[in-house]
Amino acid sequence: MLRVGVVGYGYWGPNLARNFSLHPNFKLIRIADRDADRRAAARQTYPEVEIIADAQLLCSDPEIDVVVIATPVFTHHELARQALLNGKHVWVEKPMTSTSEQAKELVDLAESRDLILMVDHTFLFTGPVQTMKSLIDRDELGSLYYYDSVRINLGIFQHDINVIWDLAPHDLSIMDYLLGPTARAVCAHGRGHYDTGLEDVAYVSVFYDNNLIAHFHLNWLSPVKMRRTLVGGSKKMLAWDDMNQEESLKVYNKGMDVKNREGMYKVLATPRFGDMYAPVVPNIEALKTEVNYFNQCIINGERPHNDGSAGLRIVKMLEATDRSLARDGRVIELEDAWVAK
Amino acid sequence: MLRVGVVGYGYWGPNLARNFSLHPNFKLIRIADRDADRRAAARQTYPEVEIIADAQLLCSDPEIDVVVIATPVFTHHELARQALLNGKHVWVEKPMTSTSEQAKELVDLAESRDLILMVDHTFLFTGPVQTMKSLIDRDELGSLYYYDSVRINLGIFQHDINVIWDLAPHDLSIMDYLLGPTARAVCAHGRGHYDTGLEDVAYVSVFYDNNLIAHFHLNWLSPVKMRRTLVGGSKKMLAWDDMNQEESLKVYNKGMDVKNREGMYKVLATPRFGDMYAPVVPNIEALKTEVNYFNQCIINGERPHNDGSAGLRIVKMLEATDRSLARDGRVIELEDAWVAK
Amino acid sequence: MLRVGVVGYGYWGPNLARNFSLHPNFKLIRIADRDADRRAAARQTYPEVEIIADAQLLCSDPEIDVVVIATPVFTHHELARQALLNGKHVWVEKPMTSTSEQAKELVDLAESRDLILMVDHTFLFTGPVQTMKSLIDRDELGSLYYYDSVRINLGIFQHDINVIWDLAPHDLSIMDYLLGPTARAVCAHGRGHYDTGLEDVAYVSVFYDNNLIAHFHLNWLSPVKMRRTLVGGSKKMLAWDDMNQEESLKVYNKGMDVKNREGMYKVLATPRFGDMYAPVVPNIEALKTEVNYFNQCIINGERPHNDGSAGLRIVKMLEATDRSLARDGRVIELEDAWVAK
Amino acid sequence: MLRVGVVGYGYWGPNLARNFSLHPNFKLIRIADRDADRRAAARQTYPEVEIIADAQLLCSDPEIDVVVIATPVFTHHELARQALLNGKHVWVEKPMTSTSEQAKELVDLAESRDLILMVDHTFLFTGPVQTMKSLIDRDELGSLYYYDSVRINLGIFQHDINVIWDLAPHDLSIMDYLLGPTARAVCAHGRGHYDTGLEDVAYVSVFYDNNLIAHFHLNWLSPVKMRRTLVGGSKKMLAWDDMNQEESLKVYNKGMDVKNREGMYKVLATPRFGDMYAPVVPNIEALKTEVNYFNQCIINGERPHNDGSAGLRIVKMLEATDRSLARDGRVIELEDAWVAK
């Protein structure tokens, strides 16, 4: 039985607390939040758990085996560092840290102390992403041509990060999971419309070999909530609408049939309109699956696929979007991004 | 009664021929197409119209007052030039020409000879765009923050132009119509996936003053057809779904209420969720309205708002996307683009 | 070459005129309409066709081989009768006649004179119905459990028929086509809300053997237009949304897995949630296909499946709905309805 | 502080337990379920609550002030009776009882002992129904013409009740709430397709004065889940899609403009296509609101609008559907239904 402390009981923390408290091999024993109202809320739901204000105290508490960090991004590094230094396994929300240096330090710390460091890229554990992964792995889509994501809503403005750092980790981690660390370059455009210095509407492109292009529309100012992804491949295409619970994933036997030929136009491209099907997507609670996977990794001493290195890669790409924004959308090469493991 | 000749009876030509033939002040007397099958089709529908192969002949035919050009883009300049030199009013499909030099020459020709030169930006005459224009003109949306358009489908690959030149003229001309010639800069990213040298997936951003950003997703390789536009303003937001005939336009009383305040975070932004309404959008055939407007402009000697200068501005922005693509997405300033008016 | 006269150039007549005029084996030579405006419209589109006011004249015109009737229902019988008596093949709009006696007389007339009498049940020639027919014929759905249709919109009020006679022929003819003449009984409920004596909202149930139930919601007072059909079978289920052009038909591998068992509840039913697929539905213009089929039937002397007998069956069921309405929704047996075949 | 016992911890019970446990004036102290697995689940979530097997025991427990009944329908009467006889306020799931005699007995018991008896018609406390109620009360829709509900999904087959008793209470109670006890007659058609003796597909019509007709499509065998209601009025119409969280309610300024006139057709009806708007629908958890309302009623000794009499009316209408089903869809008058209060 692993004893768990959760730091941060704001928006996402309650979901983490609930899932850890329900897992048979975890025992939730401590929750920390600096806000008195949030502590009162935690106390009501978990009368048997100790609720405290001091996050640092929790991270060094000798009774705790696992620290779960769900605080604002700029605090992740210090809290995770304390927890790792005190020999605890760490689950940290995305994005992992504010800088890649911080992320690298955590990766090294975890490695040197043989601790599990996992970044909560929840989407990787959803039915649709699991299904997409399996479609791609068995080459049902063929060569990938593009990955287009629209992730927009009338959003909660984050105070310390822009809309890219808030929303792009989902798509960046999904692409990293589907294709491995193969991104070559990144660029970003965005604009902020309030006096915060933070972009609230942004467009991010990620470039891969073989003309694969990924693109994310990220927006806190949309009147409608959308979570839509299109993936085009040489064989098939897919559409994922995460707001459509009944038919979230559709696979289209559509594409272009291309013939080279003589004459004025050397290529003749004809659209192919085939059947569409919607595979059964397992209706799992992603977070429950992920908490269970975290437990397996700790027990077996296995490195999770969404480990600190994965988190570090995402942070490097986020930093690249910052550099691109600062240089008017310049494409930023990621050449050395993957070297650091 | 103005005597009309239509050049090009392929995809769009039949719609033009039909609308001109039904208008009481136009008389369709000639159709030219170099393809024998298309000529046979024209002959069947219009037994009383002379159907010929030679476009040049049509453009210089003394019996004709108005030449309507619906041929591939690279032929527009030469045909329109002939027609104008022969004293005819010209209706030309979008994009107007292959280069801005060509467009400029046509603008000057038309001006010096007092002829009407109109570029078919059909969308400007649709109910939704007319309604959007009126919403913006009466400041119902407030300051515009972003314009986001998704214009994708499993497309007919054009042979002589990429997906930007094919589809972006719609959005560029709509923005030009809604806001006037105020775009400041353009950038584009895209990729081609077939051996044509032409991008089939592309993303275009257009930058305006006051942090207004426009963005278009243009795609010939999408398994689903979408025509969706979101516009965010300081007061209201709107969504236009051109595939939804019954409720194409929705206006949302949504946004962020922002307060400046003391302390750690200087801005407190709270989402405002108000009513949505779908105004009655006039159910007009855009092309019919446009043909009628063309007639009015000729009769009254008025310059249409979608005249050659408007067409020229769109071509300049398209050229800027080419330059951006060639320079890895570099932002291209449009500083002198509007001077040539 | 068969010479065609079209009677009635109102709402549907122009579509008929167009399709007959485009078919290589038909020659449209006459259009009759008693309304001067409609005649002017016909004249503008078909300058080479003779446009007249007198329908009776057309029906007895010796130059005409085929009469196409698209007038109000109460006139169908007399016009078709004239045409058949004068040796013409007849295409008549649905519903075929105002009474089954009238329909029966036409069936007998056509049979005795070896003329083709076809009722325009256009939906039978659409891609979705063709695909449904083939799914059912190859038993992909298993035993049918229900057929539920919603056919509603803010409608054109008909002057001479209620909403059932206006809209139910579509569903009745589709069921007749899919399953043959196997309906056992009919009932109807409806209400009118204007001073016309005609129901504008109605619900019709049709009962078949083996507990198959068909049900139609027919409504001229709906704020939204819907054309949705659900079909439940023992093996699979399907949904047809005729307003969704891209994915009109969806086949669901869903159902109940039922086990008989001992104990308190003798049946254990568990839902089965399998894949959905959307077959490619041929994108044909139904009317074009139907006109061609009409031509084949005339040439080959073949009885069409949507012949006068099919039209008669639909009228009998419509009459049964009238009787049911008059008796407060009583179920009306159709026992002798199919004998008259 | 009112001490609460929940009987039945199956599908809905956990939601009730959660909401009662979170309300400041209720204290959840007992849960009863005869199933050991369900008791284990209750124990894990509520370690501080006593979990027992015997429902009767709970209903007579002197420590308990309020009994909440979420067991199969056929047990409602006996449990509620026990609870009332023992002086407890009762919250009972819908449908209230298996027969109207049972319901009447409970109503009388509660009244004679001055106890609150409330039937959980949850939908009445949702944002959309609250909004519809207010639209109707301020006569925004005008005279009601029809209420059409589609409530279908691939369902959990109930063992003791058919699809009407399972799903129709929602619509019947909504209509009862919106319009008061004004229904005049009921009829029902349905079919069962498994060896259970219970209808799994059914259609229910309810008739009111002034040609208002309500109709419900209830179905456990639908491949898609739908919760759609249309309401047509003389002034406006509304559509409620309970699966669409963002725009659940739409109000249409649509209808027919009718003029009486001379001549052949005495009525000229023209469709009116006006704006649509989606009012802000309060995003409340209905059950939380309802639990709070229950508390208010107990504290103030006020009769809830969804009291036992309302539950009784719904049961009477359900019985009428049974009688109608048994008589082949005969319309059953409800003349004396509302007399019993």
pLDDT tens digits, residue range D66-86?
A: 999 999 999 999 999 999 999
ipTM above 0.90, yes or no: yes
The answer to whether A104 and A77 are in contact (CB under 8 A) is no
CA distance to partner chain B, nearest, from residue C247 (Å): 10
Class of residue C27 by CB neighbours under 10 A (exposed 0-12, middle 13-18, buried 19+): middle
CA distance to partner chain C, nearest, from residue D166 (Å): 16
* Mean pLDDT, rounded, of chain C: 94
Cis bond leading into A72, ω under 30°?
A: no
pLDDT tens digits, residue range C136-186?
A: 999 999 999 999 999 999 987 777 899 999 999 999 999 999 999 999 999
Q: What residue in A sits closest to B222 (Cα-Cα)? A: A232
pLDDT tens digits, residue range D9-65?
A: 999 999 999 999 999 999 999 999 999 999 999 998 898 899 999 999 999 999 999
Tell me: pLDDT of A340 over 50.
no
Cis bond leading into B95, ω under 30°?
A: yes
Lowest mean pLDDT across A264-278, B105-119, D222-236: A264-278
Select the residue of C145, C189, C194 nearest D256 (Cβ to Cβ): C194
Cis bond leading into D62, ω under 30°?
A: no
Mean pLDDT confidence for A173-187: 96
Instruction: Name the residue ranges covered by the structural domains of chain B.
Output: 2-115, 124-286+316-333
Q: What residue in A sits closest to C273 (Cα-Cα)? A: A280
The Cα A55–Cα A6 span in angstroms is: 9
pLDDT band of residue A337 (cuts 50, 70, 90) is low
Tell if the CB–CB gap between B275 and D273 is shorter than 8 Å. no
Chain C CB contacts of D156 under 8 Å are 271
Q: What residue in A sits closest to D153 (Cα-Cα)? A: A246
Q: Do domains D2-115 and D124-286+316-333 have the same CATH topology?
A: no
CATH number among 3.40.50.720, 2.30.30.40, 3.10.105.10, 3.40.50.2300, domain D2-115: 3.40.50.720
Tell me: pLDDT of C265 over 70.
no
What percent of chain A has a predicted confidence (pLDDT) above 90?
Answer: 87
The Cα D277–Cα A203 span in angstroms is: 31
Tell if the CB–CB gap between D276 and B274 is shorter than 8 Å. no
- B157 versus A10: the higher-pLDDT residue is A10
Q: What superfamily would CATH give domain D124-286+316-333?
A: Dihydrodipicolinate Reductase; domain 2 (3.30.360.10)
Tell me: pLDDT of A256 over 60.
yes
Tell if the CB–CB gap between A145 and B265 is shorter than 8 Å. no
Residues of D with CB under 8 A from a CB of A: 22, 44, 47-48, 224-225, 246
Tell me: pLDDT of A339 over 60.
no
- DSSP-derived letter for residue A212 is -
Query: pTM of the entire structure?
Result: 0.94
Tell me: pLDDT of D265 over 70.
no
What does the pLDDT read at residue C341? 43
**Which chains share 3+ C-beta pairs under 8 angstroms with D?**
A, B, C
pLDDT tens digits, residue range B51-94?
A: 999 999 999 999 999 999 999 999 999 999 999 999 999 999 99
Select the residue of C47, C225, C246 nearest B48 (Cβ to Cβ): C47
Lowest mean pLDDT across C87-101, C249-263, D244-258: C249-263
pLDDT tens digits, residue range D307-330?
A: 999 999 999 999 999 999 999 999
Going by C-alpha positions, the residue among C164, C322, C140 that lies closest to residue C236 is: C140
Mean pLDDT confidence for C244-263: 87
A8: alpha, beta or left? (left if phi > 0; alpha if psi -120 to 50) = left
Tell if the CB–CB gap between D266 and C146 is shorter than 8 Å. no
Q: What residue in D sits closest to C255 (Cα-Cα)? A: D221
Q: Provide the token pair at C268.
A: 């254990």
pLDDT tens digits, residue range A54-104?
A: 999 999 999 999 999 999 999 999 999 999 999 999 999 999 999 999 999
Chain A CB contacts of C279 under 8 Å are 275
The Cα C102–Cα C115 span in angstroms is: 17
Return all residues near D331 (Cβ < 8 A) that are at least 6 apart: C328, C329, D185, D186, D187, D207, D324
**Which chains share 3+ C-beta pairs under 8 angstroms with B?**
A, C, D
Q: Provide the token pair at A197.
A: 């210095």
What does the pLDDT read at residue C98? 97
Chain C CB contacts of D273 under 8 Å are 154
Return all residues near C40 (Cβ < 8 A) that are at least 6 apart: none
* Mean pLDDT, rounded, of chain A: 94
What percent of chain B has a predicted confidence (pLDDT) above 70?
Answer: 96
CA distance to partner chain B, nearest, from residue C55 (Å): 26
What does the pLDDT read at residue B141? 97
The answer to whether D336 and D127 are in contact (CB under 8 A) is no
Chain B CB contacts of D274 under 8 Å are 280
Nearest 5 degrees, angle CA D170-CA D176-CA D177? 90
CA distance to partner chain D, nearest, from residue A75 (Å): 32
Return all residues near A42 (Cβ < 8 A) that are at least 6 apart: A9, A14, A17, A31, A33, A49, A51
Q: Provide the token pair at B94.
A: 């979008």
Map chain D to HEC letters: CEEEEEECCCCCHHHHHHHHHHCCCEEEEEEECCCHHHHHHHHHHCCCCEEECCHHHHHCCCCCCEEEECCCHHHHHHHHHHHHHCCCEEEEECCCCCCHHHHHHHHHHHHHCCCCEEEECHHHHCHHHHHHHHHHHCCCCCCEEEEEEEEEEECCCCCCCCHHHHHHHHHHHHHHHHHCCCCCEEEEEEECCCCCCCCCEEEEEEECHHHCEEEEEEECEEEEEEEEEEEEECCCEEEEECCCCCCCEEEEEEEEEEEECCCCCCEEEEEEEEEEEECCCCCCCHHHHHHHHHHHHHHHCCCCCCEHHHHHHHHHHHHHHHHHHHCCCCCEECCCCCCCC
Pairing of strands C117-120, C144-154: unpaired
What does the pLDDT read at residue D196? 83
Q: What residue in C sits closest to D237 (Cα-Cα)? A: C223
Q: Provide the token pair at C200.
A: 């504008």
Nearest 5 degrees, angle CA C238-CA C244-CA C250? 20
pLDDT tens digits, residue range C273-315?
A: 999 999 999 888 999 999 999 999 999 999 999 999 999 999 9
What does the pLDDT read at residue B335? 76
Mean pLDDT confidence for D229-248: 95
CA distance to partner chain D, nearest, from residue C284 (Å): 27
Tell if the CB–CB gap between D276 and C159 is shorter than 8 Å. no
Q: Provide the token pair at D14.
A: 């956990």
Nearest 5 degrees, angle CA A102-CA A107-CA A110? 125
The answer to whether A200 and B212 are in contact (CB under 8 A) is no
What does the pLDDT read at residue A44? 87
What does the pLDDT read at residue D284? 85
Q: Provide the token pair at D236.
A: 């406006």
Tell me: pLDDT of B195 over 90.
no
Test mutation, D11, D141, D146, chain C, max C CBs within 10 A: D146
Select the residue of A22, A48, A246 nearest D224 (Cβ to Cβ): A246
Q: How many CB pairs under 8 A join B and D?
A: 21
What does the pLDDT read at residue B253? 97
Test mutation, A236, A272, A275, A283, chain C, max C CBs within 10 A: A275
Lowest mean pLDDT across B19-33, B313-327, D22-36, D248-262: D248-262
The Cα A5–Cα A69 span in angstroms is: 9
Return all residues near B3 (Cβ < 8 A) that are at least 6 apart: B26, B27, B29, B63, B64, B65, B66
The Cα A257–Cα A272 span in angstroms is: 6
Ramachandran angles phi, psi of C65, nearest 5°: -100, -30
pLDDT tens digits, residue range A200-246?
A: 999 999 999 999 999 999 999 999 999 999 999 999 999 999 999 88
The Cα A285–Cα A287 span in angstroms is: 6
Select the residue of C22, C47, C246 nearest B225 (Cβ to Cβ): C246
CA distance to partner chain D, nearest, from residue A156 (Å): 16
Map B241-279 to HEC letters: ECCCCCCCEEEEEEEEEEEECCCCCCEEEEEEEEEEEEC
Chain D CB contacts of A225 under 8 Å are 246
Tell if the CB–CB gap between B192 and A211 is shorter than 8 Å. yes
